[in-house]
Amino acid sequence: MPPLSRGALIVIEGLDRAGKSTQHARLCQNLESQGRRVKSLRFPDRTTPIGKSIDAYLRGESQQEDHVIHLLFSANRWEAAGQIRSAIEEGFTVVIDRYHYSGIVYSAAKDKVDLSLKWARDPEIGLPRPDVCVFLDIAPEVAAKRGNFGREKYETSAMQKRVRELFYELMGTSDGLDIRVVDAGRSVEEVEQDIIERVNDVMEQPKMAKPLTAIL
Ligand code: Z5A
Ligand code: MG
């Protein structure tokens, strides 16, 4: 394991039921067993006042105008931005379950709303930029067969299909430089192995000797 002057910022992304939370937990354990100090976060963070509004919206218990809910999701990341930077400077590796990539594509996927990828991305500028984002790719039909699909607001086949298209569009932009695609349609153990290999690869890159950057 190479010495790091700072911790790494690692994001797990993907469609619903791609196995993000399962792999997020395993990655945290794997990094800890390598001797790293790890902080685990997820977005939305439903525990804050803003996060509670988001939770009520996702459960269908409250209504929000589409631009407003988009900005609340972004604000929910900004609430944690200082904490993320400090932890990384202190040498913690921060592993996040969903980040601004989800923020951008889920809002832009609403086809009845005039909300472009660019508009959706602008409020994210300035947030800590991940060293690596592992995107768990899965066909929406396969994901829909996994547990509990369909309970929350965006869990429809049409929405998931559009979200996947937009994730790929986003990968063609500057955000794509940090994204590594992993086939999530395999066993939990196979996906886990692929993720740790890709993360270890990034940990050895020269950029890890430099300070964390910001989303531009
Ligand atoms: N959203 C947004 O609009 N804007 C934002 O800025 C952000 C989010 C941050 C809630 O997200 C919604 O918020 C989400 C995006 C939107 N909208 N939708 N729809 P969330 O993260 O709180 O919850 P979630 O993403 O809906 O889904 P999830 O349940 O968290 O899925 P997951 O984490 O990817 O999967 P999992 O819990 O690890 O696994 C799901 C099931 O599959 C479970 O039964 C596992 O045991 C099983 N599983 C996992 N891996 C495998 C493999 N490899 N094989 C077979 N079965 C597996
Ligand atoms: Mg999850």
ipTM of the complex: 0.97
* Residue 2: per-residue pLDDT: 47
Cα 97 from Cα 43, distance rounded (Å): 6
Q: Is the dihedral of CA 14, 17, 21, 22 positive or negative?
A: negative
146 Cβ closer than 6 Å to some ligand 1 atom: yes
Confidence of residue 191 (pLDDT cuts 50, 70, 90): very high
Atom of ligand 1 at shortest range from CA of 74: 6
Assess whether pLDDT exceeds 80 at residue 1: no
Whether residue 154 is predicted with pLDDT greater than 50 in this model: the reply is yes
C-alpha 3 – ligand 1 centre gap (Å): 33
Give, using CA atoms, the residue closest to atom 56 of ligand 1. 146
Distance CA 216, CA 211 (A): 15
Q: What pTM did the predictor assign? A: 0.96
CB of 154 within 8 A of CB of 166? Answer: no
Encoding tokens for residue 56? 């009520």
What spacing in Å lies between the alpha carbon of 189 and ligand 1's midpoint?
17
Q: Is the CB of 205 under 6 A from ligand 1?
A: no
Question: What is d(CA 161, CA 51) in angstroms, rounded to the nearest whole number?
Answer: 26
Strands lying side by side in the sheet with 38-42: 38-42, 93-97, 9-14, 132-137, 179-183
- Which residue's CA is minimally distant from atom 23 of ligand 1? 16
